[in-house]
Structure 1
Amino acid sequence: MVNQLNRASRLQRVTSYLLMLVALAFFIFAIDLLTVSMGNLNNSVANSILLATKNPFVGLFIGILMTALIQSSSTVTSTVVAVVAAGNLELQQAVPLVLGANIGTTITSTLVSLSYLMKKKQFRRALSAGILHDFFNIFTVLILLPLELTFGFLTKLSSSAAQLFSDETYSGSFVYSKLFTRPLTEWLAGIIDIPFVTLIISIFMIFGAIKLLTTSVYRAFIVETFQDISKVIFRQPYLSLFYGIFFTAAVQSSTVTTSLVVPLVANKRVPLASSFPFIIGANIGTTVTAAIAAIYKTEAAIALALVHFFINIFGALIFMPFPIIRNIPVQLAARLGKKSSNTRLIGFAYILLTFFIIPFILIYFSK
């Protein structure tokens, strides 16, 4: 009986590994198809789609709204990388989109906290944990966006760093490297023969590939491992940071790993302050997806992947070294969680305003 269970477990693990490889190949294929379709789009169509991103604040809120709607910053950032690689979006226009995606991705952990709505004390702690992820990314954007708009801080830094990995020089348009999937993507794009339809299909494929990849890796590595070492993960801040990076890089989704933290905080297994370094690490780990999407080896695509990485690295450098600064988002999240547990409407209003109503209104009136 024991041998049969072990065989079943090994078979399930091998199946998860194979599924993970298939999902990775599917993800690369979807990204390649998106790049080809963007390259085939009529310039006027492409310009009309991306016109709003010329306003950095609109780009920021488009990133928030898109990510909140599909609940995957990995999908948004990898899509933006592909669009930049195709030469239809300039690097400096793409930076606010990635900053917005960083905020939008936090909605999932906040929504997870709503499952504790009927249990007042647990809801307070759960919502505080979800909001803590929001506050970290919002504060990081509030610091980095003005630096980017004033000095081109992230654009210049990432462009300089990208030159270490690419021989290309930025000129506004790029010749992307042909991947092993290119014959198949060009064949499929030719069969459909409508670039805009191919574009929509490729975006859905990217989303599906990331979900498939996340599920396969989660089953193969995360479930048992996370449960086994959850007692030691949160003991030391920098060890917790490392685990956040590791687990999130494995599943390529910060929403998965940060959502695992919410029940732990809600059930008092992990203090709110101890969960913060793990959340910071999760933000760094999720940048792996953009790095895979930058496999085109164009300087712009690599630079944008580095932008995503630098955003979260600088966020970690701002909050991790100084406990006093690190405690600011924790205290604010705890206070808002307390108020929301007393008046449940506050929690719903916060989610709707932050992730949907305010971004939609600002995008609408920007026209």
Structure 2
Amino acid sequence: MNYVDILIPFVGGLGMFIYGMQIMAQGLENAAGSKMKSLLEVLTKNKVMGVLLGAAITAVIQSSSATTVMVVGFVNAGIMNLTQAMGVIMGANVGTTVTGWLVSSVEWAEFLSPEKLAPIAVIIGVVIMLTGKRRTSKEIANIIVGFGLLFIGISTMSSAVEPLKEFDGFVQMFVTLGKNPILGILAGALVTAVIQSSSASVGILQSLAAAGLVPFSAAIYIIMGQNIGTCITAILSSVGAKKNAKAAALMHLIFNIIGTIIFSIIAIVYFTVLNPQAGTGNITQTEISMVHTFFNIATTVMLFPASNLIVKIAKKIGRVDEDANDPGTVLLDERMLQTPSIALQSVIKETVRMGEIVRRSIEVAKDVLYTQDQEAIDILKNDESDVDRLCAGITNYTIKLSSLQISEKEHQEAAHLLQVLSDMERVSDYCENISEFAETLRDKKASFSETAKKQLKEMIEETAKSYFYALDAFKEQSHEKALRVIEKETKVDDLEVKLRSRHIKRLSNNECNTEAGIVFLDTLVCMERISDHARNIAEEVLEE
């Protein structure tokens, strides 16, 4: 038997299967990008919603490993706690069964036979790819071509291993795996850990099953091992991350190990005591899909009530104490870039968080010129430091995101975000300037006249409203509030001209202290510039 003639087509088929799965998943993700953004909101809900979210995302990106890596990123970034992560991880195990059903559909849906459908799917996808001009057409083409390549890959693998039925040693190896649960589990875990994809590992098992090489009992233990092997990707991803992110990867491993132990005991009892003959017959591709799905759903249902205990065990092993984050820490993680649509939504959330810090700065700046309170001055300076760090971190992350394969709409959204970040950062700069003006007044023991105080208060209030409306317009994507910002900005411009003129008259009549007068004029400039940046934010919302 020429093993090279078997190995080369098998490896080629595996490569085609994995590549087809990836481009199909990428096409699905891009096509569903806008909907996937809203899924992030579910993270604040209960664990049941988390399970559904994990299943939905994994069904789209075709990889529980990728979903779990993304979860590690969320936890590392501090936007998801370990309890929320547990729900998503459980759901990911369910969602990963979709690929197996796609592969086994050649058995329960005859019209999906690779020999018939795969070449047609590829040619249709290529025609759409070459003739379609819109990006949507390209994504649809990727889905269709990926679908075709996936089936061609599985067919190639099955054909390549067909001669192995005549080789007693290979057949006996699977019989041994069926009789020795530990070896079967180790084999499944090892193969999955090496290729870092349980979907691809299940695909390999299904191709061997299609050639009639896999006994039922061996398949059961291998599938359980595959669920353990898929954890390696998240564990490797957590290297160098925070303790709570490592705990998230541990939760995935603990969850799958517990499920494997429970169902291995059940399988051993069934195949050795209750029905020894059941494990000797060959398993089909559809039966593999059924076992894989049943195992993952049953494990999730069974361990769901104990999910908090799994979280506690992972925290204990990882020595985790989920403390509050430094406000200036950028809560974004590069692991999330594996799913650009959700990463973009995370950028939006971080931008809003930065905007809220600036909102607080404006609130503090309203009175600091009159009170000259050192605590308030320190708050403004600390906020500006936090905003600078956030702006730099979010900007760098957004630039990385823009370099990925994202839709034209998402490119435009990233560009809008970069502009909004810049405007918010400049507003924070002007708030810090106000704190410096307060220090100047205190050091020189200067103060405003009652008229100046009244006029300045009006200017600051209108400016604050313009920024608050701008931030709310950005958060809610509200055109109505964005238009209010433009009204306020026009009013602030008119006020600046009017108050400047009146103040100069007071100075010329010696009605106001010169040092305080200079601060008054500088403050007017700061307020007018803040309203300008608020208008810029509003215009970005209107453009979107």
> Bigger relative contact order, structure 1 or 2, given CA contacts below 8 A and separation 6+?
1
TM-score (norm. length: structure 2): 0.32
Task: Give the TM-score normalised by the residue count of structure 1.
Answer: 0.46
Which is greater in Rg? 2
